[in-house]
A and B are shown apart, each in its own frame.
Chain A
Amino acid sequence: MSKNKPGRIEITAQEVNHLIERGEKRSFTDQDYVIVLAVIRNYFALHDAYQEKSRTILRFLSWIFGHRTEKAKDVLKEAFGPNDTPFHRAGKEKAQRAWPKWRLLLPGCSESDGASLRLQSGGSMPPLSQRKALPLL
Protein backbone atom coordinates (compact mmCIF):
# COMPACT_ATOMS: atom_id res chain seq x y z
CA MET A 1 0.00 0.00 0.00
CA SER A 2 1.22 3.44 -0.90
CA LYS A 3 2.34 5.65 1.94
CA ASN A 4 0.25 8.47 0.52
CA LYS A 5 -2.99 6.60 0.65
CA PRO A 6 -5.36 8.24 3.09
CA GLY A 7 -6.48 6.51 6.22
CA ARG A 8 -10.07 5.40 6.31
CA ILE A 9 -12.86 5.08 8.77
CA GLU A 10 -15.03 2.12 8.05
CA ILE A 11 -18.59 2.23 9.24
CA THR A 12 -20.87 -0.75 9.50
CA ALA A 13 -24.53 -0.93 10.38
CA GLN A 14 -24.60 -1.71 14.08
CA GLU A 15 -22.09 0.96 14.98
CA VAL A 16 -23.88 3.54 12.85
CA ASN A 17 -26.92 2.83 14.99
CA HIS A 18 -24.86 3.17 18.16
CA LEU A 19 -23.43 6.43 16.86
CA ILE A 20 -26.92 7.73 16.21
CA GLU A 21 -28.00 6.64 19.68
CA ARG A 22 -25.09 8.48 21.27
CA GLY A 23 -25.93 11.50 19.14
CA GLU A 24 -29.50 11.47 20.35
CA LYS A 25 -28.25 11.27 23.94
CA ARG A 26 -25.67 13.99 23.19
CA SER A 27 -22.90 11.76 24.43
CA PHE A 28 -20.43 11.63 21.55
CA THR A 29 -16.95 10.35 22.36
CA ASP A 30 -13.76 11.86 20.89
CA GLN A 31 -13.68 9.06 18.34
CA ASP A 32 -17.29 9.78 17.42
CA TYR A 33 -16.43 13.37 16.60
CA VAL A 34 -13.92 12.25 13.97
CA ILE A 35 -16.58 10.11 12.30
CA VAL A 36 -19.31 12.69 12.66
CA LEU A 37 -17.08 15.34 11.09
CA ALA A 38 -16.31 13.05 8.17
CA VAL A 39 -20.00 12.37 7.59
CA ILE A 40 -21.00 16.03 7.86
CA ARG A 41 -18.21 17.16 5.55
CA ASN A 42 -19.19 14.65 2.90
CA TYR A 43 -22.83 15.60 3.23
CA PHE A 44 -21.86 19.25 3.02
CA ALA A 45 -20.01 18.61 -0.24
CA LEU A 46 -23.04 16.84 -1.72
CA HIS A 47 -25.34 19.55 -0.44
CA ASP A 48 -23.13 22.24 -1.90
CA ALA A 49 -23.17 20.56 -5.31
CA TYR A 50 -26.95 20.34 -4.97
CA GLN A 51 -27.24 24.04 -4.13
CA GLU A 52 -24.96 25.04 -6.96
CA LYS A 53 -26.95 22.82 -9.34
CA SER A 54 -23.62 21.32 -10.28
CA ARG A 55 -23.67 18.91 -13.19
CA THR A 56 -20.97 16.88 -11.52
CA ILE A 57 -23.21 15.89 -8.63
CA LEU A 58 -23.59 12.28 -9.81
CA ARG A 59 -19.89 11.89 -10.41
CA PHE A 60 -19.35 13.34 -7.01
CA LEU A 61 -21.65 10.72 -5.54
CA SER A 62 -19.51 8.04 -7.14
CA TRP A 63 -16.46 9.72 -5.75
CA ILE A 64 -17.89 9.46 -2.28
CA PHE A 65 -19.32 5.96 -2.43
CA GLY A 66 -17.65 4.36 -5.44
CA HIS A 67 -14.49 2.30 -5.74
CA ARG A 68 -12.34 4.44 -8.00
CA THR A 69 -12.09 7.32 -5.61
CA GLU A 70 -8.56 8.43 -6.46
CA LYS A 71 -9.29 8.78 -10.16
CA ALA A 72 -12.53 10.62 -9.51
CA LYS A 73 -10.75 12.95 -7.17
CA ASP A 74 -8.57 14.12 -10.06
CA VAL A 75 -11.58 14.49 -12.31
CA LEU A 76 -13.42 16.59 -9.76
CA LYS A 77 -10.46 18.65 -8.67
CA GLU A 78 -11.62 21.75 -10.51
CA ALA A 79 -15.30 21.41 -9.74
CA PHE A 80 -14.63 21.34 -6.03
CA GLY A 81 -11.59 23.52 -5.76
CA PRO A 82 -10.39 24.84 -2.42
CA ASN A 83 -12.22 28.16 -2.68
CA ASP A 84 -15.55 27.00 -4.00
CA THR A 85 -17.59 26.57 -0.87
CA PRO A 86 -18.33 28.44 2.33
CA PHE A 87 -16.97 25.47 4.23
CA HIS A 88 -13.70 25.54 2.33
CA ARG A 89 -13.43 29.24 2.89
CA ALA A 90 -14.28 28.90 6.56
CA GLY A 91 -12.28 26.01 7.78
CA LYS A 92 -10.61 23.70 5.29
CA GLU A 93 -7.13 24.50 6.48
CA LYS A 94 -8.06 23.92 10.07
CA ALA A 95 -9.83 20.69 9.21
CA GLN A 96 -6.88 19.37 7.25
CA ARG A 97 -4.51 20.11 10.10
CA ALA A 98 -6.68 18.18 12.49
CA TRP A 99 -7.49 15.16 10.33
CA PRO A 100 -5.31 15.18 7.26
CA LYS A 101 -5.69 11.61 6.12
CA TRP A 102 -9.01 10.22 7.20
CA ARG A 103 -11.63 8.71 5.02
CA LEU A 104 -14.99 7.43 6.02
CA LEU A 105 -16.30 4.18 4.70
CA LEU A 106 -19.94 3.24 4.65
CA PRO A 107 -19.99 -0.39 3.53
CA GLY A 108 -23.13 -1.77 1.92
CA CYS A 109 -25.89 -1.27 4.44
CA SER A 110 -28.07 -4.10 3.24
CA GLU A 111 -28.55 -5.57 6.69
CA SER A 112 -31.91 -4.72 8.13
CA ASP A 113 -30.44 -2.92 11.10
CA GLY A 114 -28.10 -0.68 9.17
CA ALA A 115 -24.34 -1.14 9.60
CA SER A 116 -21.52 -1.29 12.13
CA LEU A 117 -18.60 1.03 12.67
CA ARG A 118 -15.02 -0.03 12.18
CA LEU A 119 -12.37 2.60 12.44
CA GLN A 120 -9.32 1.97 10.35
CA SER A 121 -6.32 3.83 9.11
CA GLY A 122 -3.09 3.00 7.35
CA GLY A 123 -2.07 -0.53 6.42
CA SER A 124 -4.82 -2.71 7.86
CA MET A 125 -7.38 -1.80 5.22
CA PRO A 126 -9.11 -4.44 3.13
CA PRO A 127 -8.68 -4.25 -0.67
CA LEU A 128 -10.33 -1.32 -2.39
CA SER A 129 -12.68 -3.63 -4.25
CA GLN A 130 -14.36 -4.46 -0.95
CA ARG A 131 -14.72 -0.90 0.20
CA LYS A 132 -16.75 2.16 -0.47
CA ALA A 133 -15.23 5.41 0.59
CA LEU A 134 -16.46 8.75 1.78
CA PRO A 135 -13.36 10.85 1.27
CA LEU A 136 -12.76 13.64 3.70
CA LEU A 137 -12.79 16.99 1.99
Chain B
Amino acid sequence: MHENKTELHPLSQETIEGVQAATADPIDAMRLAADLYASNAYAAERALALETGRQLPEPPKLISHYLRAAALDIHARFQVMGALLNTDDLRRLEALGPIVEQRLATDEQLGEVVMTLLAMKPEDAVLWIRAHLGDLEARLSS
Protein backbone atom coordinates (compact mmCIF):
# COMPACT_ATOMS: atom_id res chain seq x y z
CA MET B 1 0.00 0.00 0.00
CA HIS B 2 2.79 2.47 0.89
CA GLU B 3 4.46 1.91 -2.49
CA ASN B 4 1.87 4.11 -4.20
CA LYS B 5 2.16 6.74 -1.49
CA THR B 6 5.94 6.98 -1.73
CA GLU B 7 6.03 7.53 -5.47
CA LEU B 8 6.57 11.12 -6.58
CA HIS B 9 3.93 12.38 -8.98
CA PRO B 10 3.31 15.83 -10.43
CA LEU B 11 0.22 17.68 -9.26
CA SER B 12 -2.68 16.87 -11.55
CA GLN B 13 -4.14 19.57 -13.78
CA GLU B 14 -7.32 19.37 -11.72
CA THR B 15 -5.37 20.04 -8.51
CA ILE B 16 -3.47 22.94 -10.08
CA GLU B 17 -6.75 24.46 -11.22
CA GLY B 18 -8.13 23.93 -7.70
CA VAL B 19 -5.09 25.62 -6.15
CA GLN B 20 -5.41 28.59 -8.51
CA ALA B 21 -9.14 28.86 -7.85
CA ALA B 22 -8.64 28.69 -4.08
CA THR B 23 -6.40 31.75 -3.85
CA ALA B 24 -6.23 34.85 -5.98
CA ASP B 25 -2.59 35.35 -4.96
CA PRO B 26 -0.27 33.54 -7.44
CA ILE B 27 2.59 33.49 -4.90
CA ASP B 28 0.37 31.88 -2.29
CA ALA B 29 -0.77 29.39 -4.95
CA MET B 30 2.89 28.29 -5.22
CA ARG B 31 3.10 27.98 -1.43
CA LEU B 32 -0.14 26.00 -1.47
CA ALA B 33 1.30 23.60 -4.05
CA ALA B 34 4.39 23.21 -1.82
CA ASP B 35 2.08 22.44 1.14
CA LEU B 36 0.40 19.72 -0.92
CA TYR B 37 3.77 18.10 -1.69
CA ALA B 38 4.84 18.36 1.97
CA SER B 39 1.54 16.79 3.05
CA ASN B 40 1.99 13.94 0.60
CA ALA B 41 5.46 13.30 2.04
CA TYR B 42 3.97 13.37 5.56
CA ALA B 43 1.18 10.94 4.58
CA ALA B 44 3.74 8.54 3.11
CA GLU B 45 6.03 8.82 6.14
CA ARG B 46 3.09 8.32 8.52
CA ALA B 47 1.85 5.27 6.61
CA LEU B 48 5.33 3.75 6.76
CA ALA B 49 5.63 4.49 10.48
CA LEU B 50 2.24 2.88 11.18
CA GLU B 51 3.24 -0.15 9.15
CA THR B 52 6.64 -0.60 10.79
CA GLY B 53 5.85 0.59 14.32
CA ARG B 54 8.28 3.51 14.08
CA GLN B 55 7.63 6.82 15.80
CA LEU B 56 4.96 8.84 14.00
CA PRO B 57 6.28 11.94 12.21
CA GLU B 58 5.17 15.46 13.07
CA PRO B 59 2.81 17.02 10.52
CA PRO B 60 4.52 19.58 8.24
CA LYS B 61 4.35 23.26 9.10
CA LEU B 62 2.08 24.87 6.54
CA ILE B 63 3.53 27.79 4.61
CA SER B 64 0.57 28.97 2.50
CA HIS B 65 -1.63 31.67 3.97
CA TYR B 66 -4.61 29.82 2.56
CA LEU B 67 -4.06 26.54 4.43
CA ARG B 68 -2.77 28.22 7.58
CA ALA B 69 -6.01 30.19 7.72
CA ALA B 70 -8.03 27.04 7.00
CA ALA B 71 -6.25 25.15 9.81
CA LEU B 72 -6.92 28.01 12.24
CA ASP B 73 -10.56 28.13 11.18
CA ILE B 74 -10.98 24.38 11.66
CA HIS B 75 -9.40 24.68 15.12
CA ALA B 76 -11.65 27.64 16.01
CA ARG B 77 -14.79 25.90 14.81
CA PHE B 78 -14.10 22.75 16.82
CA GLN B 79 -13.35 24.86 19.90
CA VAL B 80 -16.55 26.87 19.57
CA MET B 81 -18.65 23.75 18.99
CA GLY B 82 -16.97 22.13 22.01
CA ALA B 83 -17.87 25.13 24.16
CA LEU B 84 -21.51 24.96 23.04
CA LEU B 85 -21.95 21.22 23.66
CA ASN B 86 -22.77 19.81 27.09
CA THR B 87 -20.59 17.36 29.00
CA ASP B 88 -22.61 14.32 27.96
CA ASP B 89 -22.48 15.29 24.26
CA LEU B 90 -18.72 15.82 24.55
CA ARG B 91 -18.15 12.43 26.18
CA ARG B 92 -20.08 10.73 23.40
CA LEU B 93 -18.16 12.65 20.74
CA GLU B 94 -14.83 11.85 22.41
CA ALA B 95 -15.71 8.17 22.13
CA LEU B 96 -16.48 8.63 18.44
CA GLY B 97 -13.36 10.75 17.76
CA PRO B 98 -10.87 7.95 16.96
CA ILE B 99 -13.40 6.20 14.69
CA VAL B 100 -14.29 9.42 12.87
CA GLU B 101 -10.59 10.24 12.44
CA GLN B 102 -9.91 6.83 10.87
CA ARG B 103 -13.02 6.67 8.71
CA LEU B 104 -12.46 10.16 7.31
CA ALA B 105 -9.57 8.72 5.30
CA THR B 106 -11.90 6.53 3.22
CA ASP B 107 -15.57 7.26 4.00
CA GLU B 108 -16.69 9.88 1.47
CA GLN B 109 -20.16 10.22 2.98
CA LEU B 110 -18.78 10.88 6.47
CA GLY B 111 -16.33 13.37 4.94
CA GLU B 112 -19.24 15.23 3.37
CA VAL B 113 -21.06 15.34 6.71
CA VAL B 114 -18.02 16.73 8.56
CA MET B 115 -17.26 19.29 5.82
CA THR B 116 -20.89 20.41 5.83
CA LEU B 117 -20.85 20.79 9.62
CA LEU B 118 -17.70 22.89 9.41
CA ALA B 119 -19.32 25.12 6.78
CA MET B 120 -22.33 25.78 9.06
CA LYS B 121 -22.51 28.36 11.80
CA PRO B 122 -21.21 26.55 14.90
CA GLU B 123 -24.55 27.09 16.67
CA ASP B 124 -26.39 25.34 13.81
CA ALA B 125 -23.78 22.59 13.61
CA VAL B 126 -24.26 21.88 17.32
CA LEU B 127 -28.03 21.60 16.85
CA TRP B 128 -27.43 19.16 14.00
CA ILE B 129 -24.98 17.11 16.08
CA ARG B 130 -27.44 16.90 19.00
CA ALA B 131 -30.23 15.77 16.67
CA HIS B 132 -28.10 13.14 14.92
CA LEU B 133 -25.64 11.94 17.56
CA GLY B 134 -27.51 8.68 18.12
CA ASP B 135 -27.60 8.00 14.37
CA LEU B 136 -23.88 8.73 14.11
CA GLU B 137 -23.10 6.37 16.99
CA ALA B 138 -25.15 3.60 15.37
CA ARG B 139 -23.57 4.17 11.95
CA LEU B 140 -20.00 4.35 13.22
CA SER B 141 -20.29 1.36 15.54
CA SER B 142 -21.22 -0.96 12.66
Do A and B interact with each other, yes or no? no
Residues of B within 8 A of A (CB): none
Give the interface of A toward B (CB within 8 A).
none
